[in-house]
Structure 1
Amino acid sequence: MSLRFMLLISTCMFAFSCKQLVYVLTDEDIKKHYKDKKTKPQLKYISYNNYHIYHAIAGNSEKPLLIFVHGAPGNWYSSLALLDDSTLQKNFRMISVDRVGFGKSNYGHAVPSIDKHVRYLEKIVKEYNHTDQPVYMVGSSYGAPIVASFATQNPFLVNELYMVSPVIDPSTEKMFWFSYMAKLSLINFWLPRSLTVTSDEKSAHRREMRKLKPHLKRIRSKTYVLMGTDDWLAHPSNFTYLQNMLVNARKPEFIMLEDEGHTILSNRPELVKDLLLKKMDY
């Protein structure tokens, strides 16, 4: 068997395995999910510069704004269980975004700059925060430093900040072998665009975290940090890093979950719900 043929087979297997890792719901899947539900979110676009940000809106427009920001890869429905919760719908106006580059928000267009994500989130808050109350923000994985950056730049606009499985410590930022492979044109051609966007974000992540580091002391909001002891993606140092950096946050709480991995938001949505509703029995 020639080396070229073996490389081709390996490439195909790698690309196929990566596609299995991307959790995708089609429009038809979403339609079926909400077929028998009493309420379903509005699905809309909002434009900012050259970006068209797709987002889901659910809940009570007379209540405080609650925004969910997913990791990489991800979609607005990464927070589906929380968006669908009737109690949260009564107490919040919830918005979950497709970050630019993912889902239906300029799919395939990588935006490694955290500041650029913050800019369109500011536009969303301005558009939907009809109560003018400070907002609640939940960021998971790579979404965590994005909401943290939002809070540093808008310290009095954020009431509560939730960083779930945060990947934010620049000193222990991981660069996986498949991120390097995704840069190869032969492999890149076969990969879902969401994975190439993820690879591009990952390549810039350490630099972006270093830029964010000196500003974390600006966070003034009530802050929760949630991590799992079995998180294979976020190094435990991310937990202690935030314990040391959130020096001005309002009574920050740090919750380490035994035997939990990286996908807390999807595996333990009830925990985030209880924290939001202040039913803290963890």
Structure 2
Amino acid sequence: MLNLTTGVFKCRILQRLWVSIILIILCSSCTVLQWRSSDQEIQEYFAKKEIPTEISYFEIDSLDLKIRVQQIKQSENDINIVFFHGSPSSLSAWNGYLNDTTFVKKAALHAIDRPGYGYSNFGDAMTSIDTQAKVMSQLLDYYDLENVVAIGSSYGGPLAARLAYENPRVKGVVMISPAIDPNNEKKIWQSRFTQWWITRWLCPTGYRVAGDEKTVHAQELALIADNWDEVTVPVLHIHGDIDDIVPYENVKYTKEVFSDIEIITTPNTGHEIAWGRPELMKPLILKFMERVFVE
């Protein structure tokens, strides 16, 4: 009996030890896997690149909302590029573009922390694409940005396109791997953990926000689907043909709903092309900008 009791006791100790280890790992993940950099970290990063950058916050009191904006304004052109990230992510996902001297010379660059991410009300999801677009439209007006090319990756794709519907300052839209077809929205089983109360608290904050968006994304897309034909500016849709997050079939949808659409397929590439393959994306974006502002 003594041996049995001792064995059970040791087993419980081991179980608690493993639970403690898992919790430590998860808590560490909550710190590391937030996909964001502080203002100071951003300033230090770009100082090493010898690229002056500004960080500011756009506030909407009625929504108790504060949006972080990073800007690089070295160009003599009156063109503005505004970058919208996917989920989970933050404005730092666009570092590879913001530190590119060709882009710096071509246009003023603006990267945005979407609501709930980075340092824009971190953790408070804004699941409505329409509301997010209205917020970003006010942001364009506040900073008085003209000749805007709105660039969005994944979730940021339909947001960039919706912004063109909201604000005539937008002259062109680039969507990279956009999740835009409400009838072709792929379910990510991992996002269920962000919705179950028993596991939600274990998930890093950025993932919880992503899960909140993902849960209603198809419905939110359906709510704005009837307005795509009112987007008359040029739209460029770039998509990898082996995207396992946002199905490649989304290209069929954009071809049907936008009046001025160019679709470019990048062969043998997946969902990560915006940040993982900038060497492929940059020439396509620059060529698109020439089309928008030369024609």
Bin for the TM-score computed over the shorter chain: 0.7 to 0.9
1:148 to 161, 165, 188: 161
Partner SS for 1:171: coil
Displacement, 1:274?
1.9
Does residue 221 of structure 1 match 2:230? Answer: no
Partner SS for 1:170: coil
1:107 to 122, 136, 148: 122
Contact in 2 for aligned 1:64/1:129 (Cα 8 Å): no
Displacement, 1:17?
10
Partner SS for 2:174: strand
Does residue 238 of structure 1 match 2:257? Answer: no
1:95 to 91, 94, 110: 110
* Aligned match of 1:124: 139
Partner SS for 2:183: helix
Deviations 1:69-122 (A, max 9, x none): 111111011111111111211221111000010010000101001121112211
Displacement, 1:13?
10
- How many angstroms apart in 2 are the aligned matches of 1:270 and 1:70? 18
- How many angstroms apart in 2 are the aligned matches of 1:158 and 1:152? 8
- How many angstroms apart in 1 are the aligned matches of 2:120 and 2:280? 29
Partner SS for 1:99: coil
- How many angstroms apart in 1 are the aligned matches of 2:269 and 2:115? 28
Contact in 1 for aligned 2:164/2:172 (Cα 8 Å): no
2:171 to 140, 159, 177: 159
- Residue identity over aligned pairs, in percent, reads 27
Contact in 2 for aligned 1:15/1:187 (Cα 8 Å): no
RMSD: 2.7
Deviations 1:164-208 (A, max 9, x none): 001011112122222222112231112211111111111110101
* Aligned match of 2:272: 263
TM-score normalised by structure 2 residue count: 0.83
Correspondence 1:25-104 to 2 at 5 A: 25-26=37-38, 29-48=41-60, 49=62, 50-59=64-73, 60=75, 63-104=78-119
- How many angstroms apart in 1 are the aligned matches of 2:285 and 2:266? 17
Contact in 1 for aligned 2:193/2:203 (Cα 8 Å): no
Which has more radius of gyration? 2
Contact in 2 for aligned 1:233/1:262 (Cα 8 Å): yes
* Aligned match of 2:4: none
- How many angstroms apart in 2 are the aligned matches of 1:26 and 1:153? 30
AA partner of residue 141 (structure 2):
K
Partner SS for 1:225: strand
Displacement, 1:32?
4.4
2:283 to 270, 274, 282: 274
TM-score normalised by structure 1 residue count: 0.86
Contact in 2 for aligned 1:63/1:91 (Cα 8 Å): no
Say if 1:279 and 1:150 are closer, same or farther in 2 by CA, change over 3 A.
closer
AA partner of residue 150 (structure 2):
M
Correspondence 1:123-202 to 2 at 5 A: 123-129=138-144, 133-154=146-167, 156-202=168-214
Say if 1:40 and 1:170 are closer, same or farther in 2 by CA, change over 3 A.
same
AA partner of residue 68 (structure 2):
Y
Partner SS for 1:278: helix
Unmatched tracts of structure 1, length 5 or more:
none
Partner SS for 2:222: helix
Partner SS for 1:34: helix
Task: Compare 225-234 and 115-124 and name the one that shifted more.
Answer: 115-124
